[in-house]
């Protein structure tokens, strides 16, 4: 990959320890560069004993990081968010070639370099977990002696097979529509309430993310067939992995269980009475699981 990135700080919010800015990325093969929005919570703790957490949003992809901002409440560590290309406050170039899994993994590396992150935990929600996995594969296959040191990975509500997940989701939608007497609008609402997010009305952060969702990725076939082979599942560093899902998540337990093939160690936890957004539906339980897991692995053995 031939590219470079620069960080421009647009605001430091003094009322809360938050630094916002943009990373400008220029790829050698692209005619023009683009900006990715970044937000660092507690930037003064980047070099503390608590290893920073880098959060990767999902959304199919293209649901920006707003809905994950409650993770800033995780105990006393720096948390880094960014809006991936094509959504939120980041640029939305119309070149479909930029909207690929490989390019998104490259962007993550450039964001970490530009924000001077040398070590981190990764937490990916939904598609964000797929991005974390693909980034780890890049690290595993890289010979760069200065590559980022990843301590652990949290895969939250992350399918290990898009075709399987989409089939499961379709079946649940059809079941909900049938329960509503064939009314597709009511059926989809029932599906969303039961399997996506049970909170009504939606929390402000989730509504804000949907208000600023991207559309470019939906014009591509970048992830519709994504499913790693057993060999690819082994092509990642041997790191502690925590897999989380909601009891009612449309990402099935069978789909999550594929992650057990990672070099690991892998642990899996299910949050009762939650769907695809357990960090919003039961934040106390979700945050405790994540806090405890990260704390166990701040010192990499």
Q: Is residue 75 part of a domain?
A: yes
Range of the domain at 267: 3-159+199-296
Structure tokens at 151: 């301590």
Q: Is residue 191 part of a domain?
A: no
Cα 208 to chain centroid, rounded: 17
Q: Is residue 94 part of a domain?
A: yes
Is a pLDDT exceeding 80 seen at residue 10?
no
Q: What percent of the chain has pLDDT over 70?
A: 92
Adjacent-strand bridge partners of 84: none
Is a pLDDT exceeding 90 seen at residue 94?
no
Q: Is residue 148 part of a domain?
A: yes
pTM: 0.93
- The CB-side HSE value for 189 (13 A sphere, CA atoms) comes to 9
Is a pLDDT exceeding 50 seen at residue 15?
no
Query: Hey, how many other C-beta atoms are within 10 angstroms of the C-beta on 208?
Result: 16
The count of domains in the chain is 1
Domain CATH code at residue 259: 3.40.50.1820
Q: What percent of the chain has pLDDT over 90?
A: 79
> 13 falls in which pLDDT band (50, 70, 90)?
very low
In three-state secondary structure terms, 162 is helix
Q: Is residue 164 part of a domain?
A: no
pLDDT in tens, 254-294: 999 999 999 989 999 999 999 999 999 999 999 999 999 99
Secondary element (H or E) of residue 210? helix 204-211
* CA–CA dist 26, 5 (Å, integer): 6
Secondary element (H or E) of residue 223? none
pLDDT in tens, 213-252: 998 876 567 888 999 999 999 999 999 999 999 999 999 9
Q: Is residue 268 part of a domain?
A: yes
Q: Is residue 204 part of a domain?
A: yes
> 156 falls in which pLDDT band (50, 70, 90)?
very high
pLDDT, mean of residues 158-186? 97
pLDDT in tens, 177-191: 999 999 999 999 999
Q: Is residue 254 part of a domain?
A: yes
C-alpha distances (whole Å) from 57 to each of 37, 60, 126 are 13, 9, 7
pLDDT, mean of residues 141-169? 90
Return the pLDDT at 144: 74
Query: Hey, how many other C-beta atoms are within 10 angstroms of the C-beta on 217?
Result: 23
């Amino acid at each position: 990959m031939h590219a470079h990135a620069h960080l421009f700080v647009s605001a430091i919010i003094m009322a809360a320890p938050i630094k916002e800015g943009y990373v400008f990325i220029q790829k050698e093969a692209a005619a023009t560069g683009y900006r990715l929005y970044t937000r660092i919570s507690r930037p003064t703790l980047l070099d503390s004993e608590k290893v920073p957490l880098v959060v990767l949003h999902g959304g199919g992809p293209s649901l920006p990081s707003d809905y994950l901002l409650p993770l800033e409440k995780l105990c006393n560590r720096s948390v880094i968010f960014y809006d991936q290309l094509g959504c939120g406050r980041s640029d939305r170039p119309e070149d479909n070639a930029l909207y690929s899994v490989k390019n998104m993994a490259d962007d993550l590396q450039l964001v970490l370099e530009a924000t001077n992150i040398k070590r981190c935990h990764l937490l990916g929600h939904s598609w964000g977990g797929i991005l974390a996995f693909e980034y780890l594969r890049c690290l595993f296959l890289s010979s760069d002696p200065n590559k980022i040191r990843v301590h652990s990975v949290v895969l939250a509500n992350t399918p290990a097979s898009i075709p399987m997940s989409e089939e499961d989701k379709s079946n649940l939608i059809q079941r909900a529509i049938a329960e509503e007497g064939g009314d597709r609008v009511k059926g989809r609402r029932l599906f969303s309430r039961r399997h996506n997010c049970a909170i009504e009305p939606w929390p402000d952060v989730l509504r804000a993310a949907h208000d600023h969702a991207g559309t470019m990725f939906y014009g591509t076939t970048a992830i519709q067939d994504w499913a790693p082979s057993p060999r690819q599942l082994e092509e990642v560093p041997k790191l502690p992995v925590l897999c989380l899902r909601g009891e009612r998540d449309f990402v099935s337990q069978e789909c999550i269980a594929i992650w057990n093939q990672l070099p690991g160690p892998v642990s899996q936890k299910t949050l009762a009475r939650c769907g695809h957004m357990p960090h919003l539906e039961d934040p106390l339980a979700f945050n405790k699981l994540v806090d405890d897991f990260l704390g166990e692995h701040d010192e990499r053995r």
